[in-house]
Amino acid sequence: MINYFKDMGDAIINTNLKSLLENKSFMMILLGQGISNIGDAFQFIASTTMLVKVTGSGLSAIIGIILSQLPSLLLSPFAGYLGDRFKAKYVCVIMDIVRGGIALLFIGHSSSEKLYLLLFLLSMLDIVYNPAKRKLIICVVKERELLFTNSLMMGVSGIAFLIGPILAGFAVVNLGADIAFYVNCFSYVLSAALILIVKSKNIHDYTGRVKSNKFGGVLSDIKGGIKYFFSVPEIKNLIILSTVICSTGASINIAFFPFVFDTLKITEKQWGLMISVFNGTNFLAMFLAFVLNKKINKRMDVYIIISVITISWIWFFYSITKNLNFILALQFFEGTILAFCSILIGTKLQSSINKNYMARVMSIGDVINNAGRIMGVFLAYLLLGSFAESSVFLLNSILLFSFVFYKVLKY
């Protein structure tokens, strides 16, 4: 009997994964994401190294990058409306084409003001793009395939960010920063072409789709999404946990930039290697989710808690070392666990949301998560004015661990 259930479980895994890999629409989305992620890696390496040279400080560069994105958060509620009102496929295609044009505008601009402005424009487009893309994915896959879907998306992203930053580091050093923006533009255009191949007949038109083009209808729809969000406790709890991770993670990232650029004095090639190590672990997280699939489905909450506690301890170890090799090892484990945790939270969240409200709820989550990031940036900035980067690592490690410990005791 035990062997029977084991064989049945293996059959379900193989069937779900096989059907997902045979889904041409999903595969086009998956391939498009991988290509655009490579372009994003080139753009990130080029823009950050340019800003470090212009501002003369790793701290100034990363704070400027993050602050340049904040005003665009006002678009999040409308981005959710667009994702639910119009066919997500065409929203994604238009945003990809426009992003490709913005990427070309980076060429020849070396002043910090112009760079921050272009990053702000890209951030605005990303905020419109992301809810639509997540809605598009939900519309072309089955609910039982969500864990594999999120795992594959994370794995492809990992491959892209494993290859992209290293190539970008060499390209920027040998060919100049402009080559990175040409690559970024091409990646967006190719992504748009692949999304166009997604067949509309696979995209379900849910009854909750908004049908009014009036501005009053837009506001009413946004309010409806907010009301639904607050009516489902499980969704609220998942978003709050995600926000705490985003807030503490943003604070860690703010401290990490001056830590590696100003304290460790790393080169562009070393920076590309570090980004590759951190983001490339997404691929390992994909396999981890595949291997633990059956256990995860039974006790997903437990795996999420264990993952978050592990992340808090990794951040603690950042606070007590300046050894580059050890830091690379920590990045490897941090990237793997963060990606694994993201897969679990994303899967549980998508399973909990009514598809009629998918884009709107995701956009609300973006607003709350980014508000948490602002708090994390502000906290890190205050601390770095008087203390070393290690204090930021230590404090956020304690905050994240304390939050999870409190949640465990509460429930």
Mean pLDDT check: name the lowest of 24-28, 71-75, 136-140: 71-75
Domains and CATH numbers, the chain: 23-199+223-410 (1.20.1250.20)
**pLDDT at residue 397 is higher than 90:** yes
**pLDDT at residue 154 is higher than 50:** yes
**pLDDT at residue 47 is higher than 50:** yes
Q: Are 158 and 283 in contact (CB under 8 A)?
A: yes
- Tell me the pLDDT of the chain averaged across its residues: 78
Q: Are 275 and 161 in contact (CB under 8 A)?
A: yes
Q: Are 390 and 398 in contact (CB under 8 A)?
A: no
**pLDDT at residue 5 is higher than 50:** no
**Average pLDDT, integer, range 54-69:** 61
**pLDDT at residue 96 is higher than 50:** yes
Q: Are 254 and 380 in contact (CB under 8 A)?
A: yes
**pLDDT at residue 194 is higher than 80:** yes
Give 67-82 pLDDT, tens digit per residue. Answer: 655 655 666 667 666 7
**pLDDT at residue 296 is higher than 50:** yes
In whole angstroms, give the CA distance from residue 311 to residue 178: 36
Q: Where does the pLDDT of residue 223 fall: very low under 50, low under 70, confident under 90, or very high at 90 and above?
A: confident
Q: Where does the pLDDT of residue 268 fall: very low under 50, low under 70, confident under 90, or very high at 90 and above?
A: low
User: Which span out of 70-79, 230-239, 314-323 was modeled with the highest average pLDDT?
Assistant: 314-323
**pLDDT at residue 398 is higher than 90:** yes
Q: Where does the pLDDT of residue 364 fall: very low under 50, low under 70, confident under 90, or very high at 90 and above?
A: confident
pTM of the model as a whole: 0.71
